[in-house]
Each structure stands twice: as C-alpha cells, then as structure tokens.
C-alpha cells in the first residue's frame, strides 16, 4: 500500500508540474505569435532609395523653370548615345556616358566648309578652322575619331558613392576623378594635367552634387532634381527606375 501511495504521489506531482508549465508557456507562445504577425514592424521605416536604381532619361529645365516649354532633352542636345547613372544598394555610384557627333554635319551646319583632309574651314570666321583631329580632340574634347564617317566620340566611365537624407529627401552623389569639358559634360579624361591642358576644361578630384528626390506613388519610380555637371543656373530631372 505504501508503495502504491508513493507511486500515486509521484504521478500527481508530474501532472501538477506539467499543468503548471503549460499555464506559463501558453502566454509566452501567444506573445511570440503576436510579435510574428504584428503589422507594426520596421519595414515602413526602410528608405525608399534602397535598391539598385538606374537613370533611364534626363530632362533639362532652363533657369529651373518647371514648364513644358522650358524642357529640353539632354540626351539629344548633348549628342549622348548611351547614358546610365546607377545608384547601387551597396552605396556605390556608376556613370556610363557615351557621346558621338558627326563633324562634317556640324561643320557644314554651323561653321563653314568641310574637307576630309583639311577639316573644317570658314572664310569669315577663321577661328572655326580646324583639322579633323583638332575639331574632335580640341574643340569637342573627345578622343575617338572615325575617318570614314567623320564621327567624333568619347566613352566616359565614372564611379563614386551616394548617400540619402530622408529628412530632407535628398540624394548626394560623389564622383571621383571627373574632368568636365567646355560643354559641361563629363569627359573620358582621368588625368588632371591632361584635363587642365584642354580648352575650358576643369578637373575635380571629387565632384559632389546634391539632388532632391520624389517618389511616384503610382509607379514607385524616383525623380532626382538638381544641377547637371556644369555650374550654370539650369537644372535637370533624372528619372530613375528600380532594377
């Protein structure tokens, strides 16, 4: 009898402890489930700039007047064939910039007479007299000339970093080793001596530009607004898409 009574006491103790633990474990599990399904997480605090963005177009506004008649296409105005500005999620910036202009067409449209050997000449404005290479390398400050087509081109590849300020809704882009030519465009040149030797060019060890950004509520795309690589009063809008 004593043995059975002791066995009963042990079983009772086990059942009591099990029930006691269930009482305390259930609220803990319930709290964990509530946290798992809680909609008030930190996802809403994530910056809208997170992700890999690329610029698919550029619009220029003269004197920063945001009207349709003051808008021009930087791509066509600057003879840009390929352009892409990447804002990558690791904080890096990449800019690819290809330009090409037909020298014969430019000469005959604006300057004078074109000759495949002597280049461009004008009987009235002698300062428009350029050999083909001078016209390409000195005037347009590009480094590639095609004798057959008279196309003058350059391929620029720049890199740097970017940061965002969500309070001010701004993005600051920093590009390293930038040579800005006389047309206010980035150049293929990476040497400060070579850049400064060109006419009207300016070299920057690091160029910093700050753009304000806005998020399109329908598409989720982002627009950056600020100044282009020149220092005049005009401003641009870069339309960014998420890759």
Check whether 36 has a pLDDT greater than 50. no
Please tell me whether residue 182 adopts helix, strand or coil conformation: coil
CB burial of 38-59 (b: ≥16 within 10 Å; e: otherwise) equals eeeeeeeeeeebeeebbbeebb
Percent helix, strand and coil across the chain, each to the nearest 5: 30, 40, 30
Residue 12 burial (C-beta neighbours within 10 Å; 0-12, 13-18, 19+): exposed
pLDDT class of 16 with cuts at 50, 70, 90: low
- List domains and CATH numbers for the chain: 50-100+155-242 (2.40.128)
Mean pLDDT of 72-76: 83
pLDDT class of 15 with cuts at 50, 70, 90: low
pLDDT class of 42 with cuts at 50, 70, 90: very low
Mean pLDDT of 37-66: 69
Q: What is the mean pLDDT of the chain?
A: 80
pLDDT class of 68 with cuts at 50, 70, 90: confident
Nearest to 97 by CA among 131, 137, 58: 58
Beta carbons of 49 and 91 less than 8 angstroms apart: no
Amino acid 33: pLDDT:
47
Amino acid 241: pLDDT:
84
Q: Residues 6 or more apart from 221 whose CB is under 8 A from it?
A: 215, 239, 240, 241, 242
Nearest to 140 by CA among 96, 71, 79, 228: 79
Please tell me whether residue 131 adopts helix, strand or coil conformation: coil
Beta carbons of 85 and 236 less than 8 angstroms apart: no
pTM of the predicted structure, to 2 decimals: 0.71
């Amino acid at each position: 009898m004593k043995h059975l009574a002791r066995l009963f006491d042990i079983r009772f103790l086990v059942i009591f402890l099990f029930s006691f633990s269930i009482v305390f474990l259930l609220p803990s599990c319930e709290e964990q489930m509530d946290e798992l399904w809680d909609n008030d997480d930190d996802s809403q605090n994530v910056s809208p700039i997170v992700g890999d963005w690329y610029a698919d177009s550029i619009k220029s506004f003269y004197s920063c007047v945001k009207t349709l008649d003051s808008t021009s296409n930087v791509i066509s105005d600057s003879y840009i064939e390929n352009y892409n500005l990447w804002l990558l999620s690791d904080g890096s910036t990449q800019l690819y910039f290809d330009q090409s202009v037909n020298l014969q067409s430019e000469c005959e449209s604006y300057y004078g007479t074109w000759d495949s050997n002597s280049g461009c000449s004008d009987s009235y404005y002698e300062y428009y007299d350029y050999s083909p290479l001078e016209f390409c390398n000195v005037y347009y400050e590009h480094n590639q000339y095609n004798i057959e087509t008279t196309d003058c081109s350059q391929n620029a590849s720049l890199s740097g970093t970017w940061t965002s300020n969500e309070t001010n809704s701004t993005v600051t882009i920093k590009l390293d080793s930038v040579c800005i030519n006389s047309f206010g465009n980035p150049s293929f040149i990476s040497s400060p001596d070579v850049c400064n030797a060109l006419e009207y060019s300016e070299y920057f060890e690091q160029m910093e530009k700050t753009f304000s950004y806005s998020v399109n509520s329908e598409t989720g795309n982002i627009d950056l607004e600020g100044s282009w690589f020149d220092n005049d009063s005009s401003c641009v809008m870069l339309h960014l898409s998420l890759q």
